[in-house]
Amino acid sequence: VFNLLAPDPSKSVRAAPLTTAGGCINLLENLFSSFLSKEYPELCFHDALYLHSKESPVGSNKLIFLPHLNGERSPVNDPNVKGGFIGLKSSHNASDMIRATLEGICFQYRWLAETLGVKTNTKDCMDAVDSSPLLITGGGASSDVWRQIFA
């Protein structure tokens, strides 16, 4: 977690970057692009990925993904931490692995938000005087799946 100068010198921007959110999507592309292009030939990779993730229920059938593919910078700075799937069984499928990856990235962002002091549970958000909407940017922001998982 670090502070950046803001245009207004009396303010700063607190930042907590996630090292490999995009790298996790690249991993899914390496693992499943061939499969997804056959399943959804009319869609680009990302649209097919998000659509296929809907076949897995919330919680990805108890599959958990840790998104630390290249170490991590925040909220814990550890270049040696490793990521991967926890609880992987032979009954899991591509949609479970895809959704678990998306959920793992979102949970990491939640941890970062909590580190920055953002209220993240529904009750706290409803009680917060200064609760404002969460702004999501980037390619994933166009996906209803991403937005729902973030919510």
- What does the pLDDT look like over 45-60, one tens digit per residue? 999 999 999 999 999 9
Closest CA to 32 of 20, 19, 48, 43: 48
Question: What pLDDT is attached to residue 150?
Answer: 83
| Angle, in degrees to the nearest 10, between helices 94-115 and 45-53 | 90
- What does the pLDDT look like over 107-145, one tens digit per residue? 998 888 888 777 666 554 444 444 556 667 777 888 899
Residues 6+ apart with CB under 8 A from 94: 31, 32, 35, 36, 52
CA distances from 10 to 27, 79, 90 (A): 41, 33, 55
DSSP output for 117-147: T---SHHHHHH-TT--PPP--SGGGG-HHHH
Q: How confident is the model at residue 147 (pLDDT cuts 50, 70, 90)?
A: confident
